[in-house]
Amino acid sequence: MQSWADAEWFLNRPALAEKLTVTVFKVTGETNTDDLSPAPDAWSRPDIPLHALAMLKNAREGIEPDQPGVVGPIKQIEALQQKGFPLAYVGD
């Protein structure tokens, strides 16, 4: 417990690279918890796969849900992953 209290899990990590290359997944407008984890779609917190499918299920500028109102932009995210860099979720 002392190790945890001393934040060793955080402080003993390798330094970040001076430069990081990422692909930006830009989400316009406000993002709230209902956008990322809609309660009606995944009522239990541990049900991560359901939360992931429902994330951003409602269309907005720049976001193309696979099934509007049901399944979020999985194909759009997969296309960005094809660039080979980590994805960065960026809100404006």
Q: Between these two residues, 89 and 42, which has the higher pLDDT value?
A: 89
Q: Which residue has the tokens 């951003």?
A: 56
Is the pTM value of this prediction over 0.95?
A: no
State pLDDT tens for residues 19-77: 999 999 999 999 988 888 877 876 777 777 888 899 999 999 999 999 999 999 999 99
Is 9 within the bounds of a domain?
Answer: no
Is 87 within the bounds of a domain?
Answer: yes
Q: What is the pLDDT of residue 65?
A: 97
Q: What is the pLDDT of residue 45?
A: 72
Is 60 within the bounds of a domain?
Answer: yes
Instruction: Give strand pairing partners of 88.
Output: 24
State pLDDT tens for residues 2-31: 999 999 988 998 988 999 999 999 999 999
Is 42 within the bounds of a domain?
Answer: yes
Tell me which residue range forms the domain holding 62.
Answer: 21-91
Neighbours of 36 (CB within 10 A): 15
Is 16 within the bounds of a domain?
Answer: no
The rounded distance, in Å, linking the Cα atoms of 83 and 85 is 6
Is 45 within the bounds of a domain?
Answer: yes
Task: State how many domains the chain has.
Answer: 1
